[in-house]
Every structure is written in structure tokens, then in C-alpha cells.
């Protein structure tokens, strides 16, 4: 291997490690390994909703699928669902596991809207990583967001 090729490979690895290049570069064909196929907000009776009141449960239904066309082993994942209003987090749920090619997983993290929560629009963001980001995890699915409103 020429020194130019070795140097280029080394530089590429450094850029990936420090986050200069987009994470999609790390995945074959610029695609993610997983796909969030469904994100729906539900009340405790199972109905889909976009408006909630203080004290109600919000269930975040998420359907995750391994979309790789090949896999030598099950691919681990960490799914995180986070609900925020402005910069304040009001809900958080996490699930981990592994799926082989074509397999799906349904998760439904839930949280209660506090009795003193502000009225207005909240954002729910679902993120999928290879492991905890603090342990070197990288995104393995595009993040997906949806919103709901807390009403009087």
C-alpha cells in the first residue's frame, strides 16, 4: 500500500472520528441501517392524538425496522424518544436491542404531562444510535420528529 493511500485512509478515519464528515458516510451507499417507519402519539385509550391536557399520558408509538439488504449478525440499536418544550425536556424513553435484516420492533415509551407544564407546542424527537452516544454510538437511522399541543 502506498504512503499516499495510507495517509489518505488515516486522514479519513480522523475526520470521521472528530465528526467533520457526516455520519451517513460511515454506512454503505450513504444510507442508514435502520428506519423509523411509524411515529404516532396516542392517549392512554390508544387513540391517536395531537392535543393533550396536563396530567395525561402521552404514548409515543415507534416502529423501527432493520433495512439493510445484508447482515452477518443482528445489528444492535438504542432507540431514544425525547419530548421537549422550548429547551426543557418533559419526557424521555429508551429501548435497546438488536434486529437482523428485515426485522421490525415496536416500542411505546410514555410520559405524563406535568400538572404545571406550560400550554403550547411540544416536539417529540425519535433518535436511533448504535449505542449510547457517550460510548461512541453513531446515528443508524434518520431522526424523526412530530409535535403535539398541551391545551387547557
For residues 97 and 119, give the distance between their C-alpha atoms in angstroms, rounded to a whole number. Answer: 35
Pair 118, 50 in one domain: yes
Compute, in degrees rounded to 10, the torsion defined by CA atoms 84, 127, 31, 66: -140
Instruction: Give 76-107 pLDDT, tens digit per residue.
Output: 999 999 999 999 999 999 999 999 999 999 99
- Predicted pLDDT at 70: 77
Please tell me whether residues 11 and 69 are part of one structural domain.
no
| 151 vs 132: CA distance, rounded Å | 34
Domain that holds residue 63: 32-151
Asked if residue 8 and residue 42 are part of one domain, the reply reads no
Could you tell me if 3 and 38 lie in one domain?
no
Share of the chain above pLDDT 90, in %: 74
- Tell me, yes or no, whether 10 and 83 share the same domain: no
Residues 145 and 109 in one domain: yes
Say if residue 55 is in the same domain as residue 114: yes
Q: Are residues 139 and 89 in the same domain?
A: yes
* Confidence band for 73, pLDDT divided at 50, 70 and 90: confident
88 & 110 share domain: yes
Q: What is the pLDDT of residue 30?
A: 60
CA end-to-end distance (rounded Å), the chain:
68
Q: What pLDDT score does 142 carry?
A: 96
Mean pLDDT, residues 4-9: 37
- The answer on 121 and 59 residing in a single domain is yes
Q: How far apart are CA 24 and CA 141, in angstroms?
A: 9
To the nearest whole percent, how much of the chain has pLDDT over 70?
79
Mean pLDDT, rounded, of the chain? 83
**9/64 same-domain check:** no
Q: What pTM value is reported for the model?
A: 0.77
Average pLDDT over residues 126-132: 95
The pLDDT assigned to 74 comes to 84
pLDDT at 54: 97
Residues 117 and 135 in one domain: yes
Domain count, the chain: 2
Q: How far apart are CA 71 and CA 101, in angstroms?
A: 6
Distance between CA atoms of 145 and 126, rounded to whole angstroms?
6
Amino acid at each position: 500500500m502506498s504512503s499516499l493511500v495510507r495517509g489518505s485512509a488515516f486522514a479519513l478515519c480522523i475526520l470521521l472520528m472528530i465528526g467533520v464528515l457526516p455520519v451517513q458516510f460511515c454506512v454503505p451507499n450513504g444510507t442508514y441501517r435502520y428506519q423509523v417507519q411509524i411515529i404516532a402519539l396516542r392517549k392512554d385509550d390508544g387513540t391517536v392524538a395531537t392535543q393533550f391536557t396536563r396530567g395525561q399520558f402521552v404514548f409515543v408509538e415507534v416502529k423501527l425496522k432493520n433495512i439493510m439488504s445484508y447482515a452477518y449478525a443482528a445489528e444492535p440499536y438504542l432507540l431514544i424518544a425525547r419530548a421537549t418544550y422550548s429547551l426543557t425536556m418533559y419526557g424521555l424513553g429508551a429501548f435497546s436491542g438488536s434486529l437482523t435484516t428485515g426485522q421490525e420492533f415496536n416500542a411505546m415509551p410514555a410520559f405524563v404531562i406535568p400538572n404545571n407544564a406550560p400550554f403550547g407546542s411540544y416536539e417529540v424527537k425519535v433518535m436511533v444510535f448504535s449505542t449510547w452516544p457517550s460510548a461512541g454510538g453513531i446515528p443508524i437511522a434518520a431522526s424523526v420528529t412530530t409535535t403535539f399541543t398541551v391545551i387547557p
